[in-house]
Chains A and B, each alone.
Chain A
Amino acid sequence: MNSIFYRLSILLILLSTVIYFSCRKENLPTQPNELKLTNPLAIKAQEWFKENSALPASTNKRDINVRDYTPDWNHYKIDTNSKGVDVITVPLNNKPARNKVAAYYTEIGVVLNKDGIALGMVKEYVGNPYVGETTLKLYTGSGRLFAVGLYNANTKKFTPVMAESGSRGVVNGGGNPHDRLMSVPNTYMVGDPESGGGIPLGEVTIKPNPTIPTGNVGDLPTPPGGNGVPSNPITPAVILNRLVAKLNITNTNQLAYLTAHPEVVEALDQYLINNQNSQESIDFGKWAVGYLTANPDFNTLKTGWLEKLLLIKSLDITTYQFTSLSDKNSMYSAIVDILNEEDNNTEENEIVAEAVFEYMNVSNYSSNYSVKMTRLKQHTKNAITKSIIATAKVARKLYLVLNRLAENNPGTINNINTYFLDPLRSEVNSTVNFNPQSMNWGDLFTIWVFELGSFPSANGVPTINIITGANLITGISISNPSTNAFKNLSTIVTLRERNRILLQNSIKNVGGQDSLYYRYDVPEYYNSLVERSTANIFLGSFNTRITILAKGSNSATILFLSENVSSWESATRFIKTERGNVGIIDNKARGTGLHLGGNVGEKFTWTETITW
């Protein structure tokens, strides 16, 4: 009996499962507030949204599922864009339970082309579009991300920072940032060329999509509204109340501070949204309001103040006693400021600051002491593995911070070298290949910036001699040799080819010389990023001289000699941080001052036989 009951139960469960899955309907978007629209453009927009939301959703994490959104047809708005084309914008309400990214505001924008076909996109303002700059993401009607950029509330301009490659659909134009995608300078770059970034954007491209024919100027809608303003504005009071509720702030002083500092309210609100109101972000928000209320002199009008606050919290400054240096408190502030000026890499800034504070916290430097700086050592080694640029960033931060420390405390430079930099250099030393014949560009860079190894002096500068057969010259075991092998650099190719012609015409003969100086200026800098030319990034400007060693009837042997000096000045000439150009670091001799970035020369010497 029990057995029959048991079997029946299993059968019922199986049947129920089959019935459930066979009868389950696809979760199509519901339109609870769908109105019977009368405006022809609104009707077209409604059809456009229905068609697009019925398309299969992308599984790519960066895309959105438009079925998670419901258009608010009660609040659509129609404007005329600068091309004289009517544009409809409709707020999209996100279903909180299925929210992918809690964006500040989302809407669709639709126009009709000459044939009356609806063309549209979904625009997602990650942050508040009324204050400063915020990220704006543009999706196709089916939710595929095709461009990301920054929207500036003051200039009302959209600057793309990422665009999908695919079929070209360039829409140029100026004026209202949203009424067309703007062309991007050819040199516009994203990311680190060695870590897979460095995307050259000659123009903004649009991913193919059945509902968005690409190409014609004016085909894309004017989002949002007619003046770059969202259709359903959110007032500062609403944001304040929202933030106070999220952070559960009841302290009257804190409430008064927030009321008097709308920029803080905006930034914290956006921070919470960006972090999907995580508990960690809420904890930070609460701490930040408390800290700012207790430190009313903290400048929240200065760019990057939020990152500085994140750094202060992460470092937990109260654990440092600052007993050995007279002005440690002011140094602490200066270090945070320097790092904050560099970039928003809060993790790296925290690691650098933590190590420096650990050093500053030492009360009595002696031969028995060394700063552990465990995280900094590992972080630096990781940066070396990643790319020259990543290594340069952390080395530059260290130099700037430690240089300030040395300037403010004359006489401490030896201690900084002995107890901080030298142990770090020793750690890095194990990652480097010192053999000039088999080393790569990363090895050369690390040798220069951390002042590693010892090399014979030429003209008073320690110089690494790299000769015929070296991997750096031939490109063997070097990534992207067509760009990064020394023999393939444009200077060398130019010298080789022009002397081939001069030899052929007997204008050059044995003993003849020629030279060419490669000028590394701003255009070359951007080109080298685009081409991911580690060689050019490392070398910058350099001089090459050739000498004709032997000549036959249709061939000649040429000696190439290229000389370069790696120095802080050439390395920092084009560095621009997120806060703009932060200046050049002066050159210095190796072994003097801080043990970072002292001049090192490289001499590339090899022979080639050319024919004509």
Chain B
Amino acid sequence: MKNKYLIVIMGVFFALFFTSCHDILTNLDNETEMVTDSLSYKELIGTYTFVPKDYQAKILHIETKDTIILKITSDSLHTTKSGGYSGKYEINRMILVKHINYTLPYKNDWYLDFLKEKNILIPNILNFNQNIKNFSNISYEIRKDTSGVLHIIGVTGDEGGEYNEAFEVFNFKKTK
């Protein structure tokens, strides 16, 4: 009898722990560092997933239970004038623009290049062409976590706004 109570209490404890500490565990997992060396397109190509946090879901007009899948492919791969690479990407819900409610599946071009100049904050240039052509209000940062797994992080800021600082709009983690 006592063991049953113990199991129930333990169950409740773990349920509470995982519910309340999910963010902490996720953040630990997501500690990343900017990739400052030139990234090859072969490293970039793959499938990435993103499960939004509350505030991200609010900004992106999606649900926290949604899993966003981004596929960066080598379809139509070609080199550009400046020596960068371009190809096709697919996303199951278009969330690569802040504050624009356009969450249908989407397909367009990706672009990767590298900046060698001094005083550059984000040396690997990643661009996802949008439905509004060449529009972007999110900076894409390519980062690696402590396990060496690639992340594509969208960063924006709202100086003087609700958040009044930089924050991650999304964090896609490479899964394969």
Contacts and interface: CB of A to CB of B under 8 A. Distances in A.
Interface of A: 459, 461, 488, 490-491, 493-494, 497-498, 501-502, 504-505, 507-509, 511-519, 541-543, 545, 548, 563-565, 569-570, 599, 601
Interface string B120-142: 11100101010001111111000
A494 B121 contact: yes
A518 B160 contact: no
Contacts of B43: none
Contacts, number: 104
B134 A563 contact: no
Chain A CB count within 10 A is highest, among B86, B121, B137, for B121
30 contacts: A461-B160, A490-B121, A497-B115, A498-B122, A501-B113, A501-B115, A504-B82, A505-B80, A505-B81, A507-B109, A507-B111, A509-B134, A511-B133, A512-B134, A515-B136, A515-B138, A516-B121, A517-B155, A517-B156, A517-B157, A517-B166, A518-B157, A519-B157, A519-B165, A543-B157, A548-B134, A563-B159, A564-B159, A565-B164, A601-B160
Contacts of A542: 157, 159
A508 B121 contact: no
Contacts of A498: 113, 115, 122, 125
B20 interface: no
Contacts of A508: 134
Nearest to A562: B159
Given A507-B80, A541-B157, A541-B166, 15 more contacts: A490-B119, A490-B120, A494-B122, A502-B111, A502-B127, A504-B81, A507-B111, A512-B134, A515-B136, A515-B138, A515-B139, A519-B165, A542-B159, A543-B158, A570-B164
B117 interface: yes
4 closest A-B pairs by beta carbon, nearest first, are A517-B157, A512-B134, A565-B160, A505-B80
Chain B interface size, as a band, is: 20 to 34
Contact of B134 (A502, A517, A570): A502
B11 to A, nearest CB: 40
B136 to A, nearest CB: 5
A212 B120 CA distance: 41
B84 interface: yes
Residue of B111, B125, B134 with highest tally of chain A CB at under 10 A: B134
Interface of B: 80-82, 84, 86, 109, 111, 113, 115, 117-122, 125, 127, 129, 133-139, 155-160, 164-166
Contacts of A513: 134-137
A494 B36 CA distance: 13
Contacts of B156: 515, 517, 543
A571 B135 CA distance: 32
Given A513-B137, A565-B164, A543 B159 contact: yes
Given A494-B120, A498-B115, A541-B165, A512 B135 contact: yes
Contacts of B84: 501, 505
Contacts of B82: 501, 504-505
A89 B26 CA distance: 54
Contact of B139 (A516, A570, A599): A516
Contacts of A599: 160
A459 B166 contact: no
Given A493-B119, A494-B115, A497-B120, A565 B159 contact: yes
Contacts of A517: 139, 155-157, 159, 166
Given A494-B120, A497-B115, A507-B111, A459 B160 contact: yes
A493 B82 CA distance: 18
Contacts of B138: 515
A514 B157 contact: no
B119 A514 contact: no
B102 to A, nearest CB: 16
B18 to A, nearest CB: 30
B56 to A, nearest CB: 15
Contacts of A490: 119-121
Contacts of B155: 517, 519
Nearest to B124: A498
Given A512-B134, A512-B135, A513-B134, A497 B159 contact: no
B137 A515 contact: yes
Nearest to B118: A493
A23 B125 CA distance: 78
Contacts of A545: 137
Contacts of B159: 517, 541-543, 563-565
Contacts of A511: 133-134
B57 to A, nearest CB: 20
Contact of A518 (B111, B120, B121, B164): B121
Nearest to A601: B160
Contacts of B165: 519, 541
Contacts of B160: 459, 461, 563, 565, 599, 601
Most chain B beta carbons < 10 A, residue from A514, A517, A543: A517
Nearest to B109: A507
A518 B160 CA distance: 14
B125 A502 contact: yes
A462 to B, nearest CB: 12
B87 to A, nearest CB: 13
A491 B138 CA distance: 14
B91 to A, nearest CB: 18
Contacts of A512: 133-135
